[in-house]
Amino acid sequence: MARIAFVGLGRMGRGMAGRLLAAGHDVTVTNRTAAAAEPLIAAGARFASTAAEAVSGVDAVFVMVSDDDASRAVWLGADGIMAGEPAVGAFAVECSTLSSAWVAELSSAVSQRGWRYVDSPVTGLPEAAAAGRLTLLVGADPADLNDVRPLLEPLATDLLHFGPVGAGTAYKLIVNLIGAVQIAGVAEGLALAERAGLDLAQVEQALATGQAASPQVVRNARRMVAGDHPDPVSFSGRLRRKDAAYAMSLAEELGAAAPFGEVALDTLDELIASGLGEVNESAVIEIARRRAGRT
């Protein structure tokens, strides 16, 4: 079994670290708030007060944080990962959804230190993380992926290798931008259905079995009709907005137009401005209702 550090114990990270621990690995965890680590410590993990301490002597470090700023802090901070001393040739497995530009910068810096960088953002909700049913979207050297695969397998039912480092992030940003467009679209459709006097519960059921159905549409349409945006928060509007913005930056880097993405991002900006950024992303229905003329 491997010695592993896991940095970032939010809704996704806790479940992922738990899967590595259950697989029999020697896991050290660290997080800004120590309380998040308590269930993992009870299950046998060790807690380190800093990332630099957590990675001492490890074979791999997994990171799952919210955005570029958090990633920079845990990697490059005074007590960050890069200040630690892992085993020679250790793996750096970045599971966070980050911007393409930061992944390029980070992977270069990490590789210069002798780490083997694996770009591995994920798809799946917190319950899938806890059950080991994520999909890993990997960008890595094929030889590195072959070597690290046994460490990834407890986390996922599917592992998709898109190419070299950065390719996994590119796909993740693209698929999350598609999700943002779908969510904005279903919110607009439900708001129109409401204005037309249709029974929203019936509309939601019809959507779930019709040609417009997708997991994203079905899940969010149900929550939009139920209005249960605050609890549980599977994926917040703030995080969806962050991912959409990173995707639009990627489009700009590539010189590609993304007009539907622009509309979705504007909608998410309005959601954030309305104070609904921390509840579930399904709250975007309130923006669509406002635009449709409901007060």
Looking at the structure, do residues 35 and 144 belong to the same domain, yes or no?
yes
Residue type, 166: G
- Identify whether residues 136 and 209 lie together within a single domain: no
Same-domain check for residues 140 and 230? no
Compute the average pLDDT of residues 214-224.
Answer: 96
Whether 114 and 187 map to the same domain: the answer is no
172 is catalytic: yes
State the CATH number of the domain containing residue 143. Answer: 3.40.50.720
175 lies in the same domain as 278:
yes
Closest CA to 97 of 11, 156, 173: 173
Q: What is the CATH number of the domain that holds 275?
A: 1.10.1040.10
Domain boundary among 114, 147, 163: 163
Number of domains in the chain: 2
Note the residue count of the chain.
295
Q: Which of 14, 19, 116, 172 is catalytic?
A: 172
Both structure tokens of 229: 């945006």
Rounded average pLDDT over 33-57: 96
Quick one: pLDDT band at residue 294, thresholds 50, 70, 90?
A: low
My answer on whether 151 and 231 are in the same domain is no
The predicted pLDDT at position 275 comes to 97
Q: For residue 214, give its domain range.
A: 170-292
Average pLDDT, the chain: 96
User: b/e string for 71-89 if b means 16 or more Cβ within 10 A?
Assistant: bbebbeeebbbbebebeee
Q: In the prediction, which pLDDT does 81 show? A: 97
Q: Residue 81: CB partners within 8 Å, gap ≥ 6?
A: 5, 7, 51, 52, 54, 55, 61, 63, 74, 75, 92
Got the DSSP string for 5-48? EEE--SHHHHHHHHHHHHTT-EEEEE-SSGGGGHHHHHTT-EE-
Q: Are residues 159 and 174 in the same domain?
A: no
Question: How far is residue 140 from each of residues 95, 105, 131, 144, 287, measured CA to CA in Å?
Answer: 12, 15, 25, 7, 39
Q: Which of 114, 133, 163 is the last residue of a domain?
A: 163
CA–CA dist 217, 204 (Å, integer) = 9
Cis peptide before 126 (omega within 30 of 0): no
Query: Is the pLDDT at 295 greater than 60, yes or no?
Result: no
| Claim to verify: residue 11 and residue 152 sit in the same structural domain | yes
Choosing from 116, 148, 163, the residue where a domain stops is: 163
**How much is the average pLDDT of 73-99?**
97
pLDDT band at 293 (very low <50, low <70, confident <90, very high): confident
